[in-house]
Amino acid sequence: MHGQPHGPKGVVGLSVRPTRLAVSGAHTEAMNRTASDAVTRTGRHDDPDTRRQPAVSIRGLNKNYGVVAAVRDLNLQIARGETVALLGPNGAGKSTTVAVMLGLTAPDTGHVAICGMAPRAAVLRGRIAAMLQDAGFMPGVTVSELLTLGSGLYPNPLGVRETLELAQLSGLARRRVNRLSGGQLQRLRFALAAVANPEVLVLDEPTTALDVTGRAEFWQAMRAYAGTGRTLLFATHYLEEVSENAGRAIVMMGGSVIADGTPDAIRQLAGLSTIRFTVDTGTDARQQLEVLPGASDETCSLWLMRVPSLP
């Protein structure tokens, strides 16, 4: 995602292990019981108060860079378990929206919550992570060694073996990263984000520069990941990827959402043009327009009509 003036780039969410405090035996036992009760099937330690919150909740988000309005009064909610595609041209506001979700930049106004908590807190607790569009790796280390190092940065990581299986890298665990193909490197980038065991994973144009085989292998891994019930948000310019892998598509332009629906519905809208016109009040034109498909009135005299775009 590019094109935001001075907009920060998304990063894989990193966190540190919480400081351990000395607590009396009775309190320690109570805390251990509470933590044990909150462990979910995915190994997460969910707060019961946040478990029922949506994966992403954005209300009235505004963010300006100088005189440029990068995001304008954005309202968006993503339920847990959804796979959502984020579409839009460069400068549409995608990068800034993701940066706010990751706690990399603060909104000027508005409210943003990830799994019921502030973005930076969600990153620190491993609730949200992002896969970089392009990231270099430490030379000379193996895939397994790099994932082991990454897992130590999170409070409740996935096991390295499970992460390797999820990213379809089990057979490459002992291979050095500088000997991986382009598609294998991209799956490793995904694995470094997935090892955090996040409930929300953000992918920034993940298949850019991959060949057909690499893209197919990558999305096979993503579908396996989404099948675990986690939330997936990805930005892409490939419409076929949206149709094949997303249950919902959100289109941004000029810092706002201009379309939100199923991929099929968005595809139909993409082939339409909008005509705005006014009619004189007191005539029978309104009754005649009401029967036309695609016509709707915004005010008493201003009408919209969506018609197929001309080639």
Same domain, 264 and 276: no
Which residue positions in the chain have pLDDT lower than 50? 1-43, 45, 309-311
Cβ neighbors of 180 (< 8 A, separation 6 or more) are 143, 172, 188
Reported pTM:
0.68
Same domain, 204 and 89: yes
Range of the structural domain that residue 304 is part of: 272-308
Same domain, 277 and 170: no
Q: What angle do CA 131, 133, 138 make, to 5 degrees?
A: 75
59 within some domain: yes
User: Do the Cβ atoms of 196 and 131 come closer than 8 Å?
Assistant: no
pLDDT at 169: 93
Same domain, 125 and 206: yes
Per the structure, the count of domains in the chain is 2
Cβ neighbors of 251 (< 8 A, separation 6 or more) are 87, 88, 257, 258, 259, 260, 266
Task: Encode burial over 86-114: b for 16+ CB neighbours within 10 A, e otherwise.
Answer: bbbeebbbbbbbbbbbbbbbebeebebbb
pLDDT at 41: 36
pLDDT at 137: 85
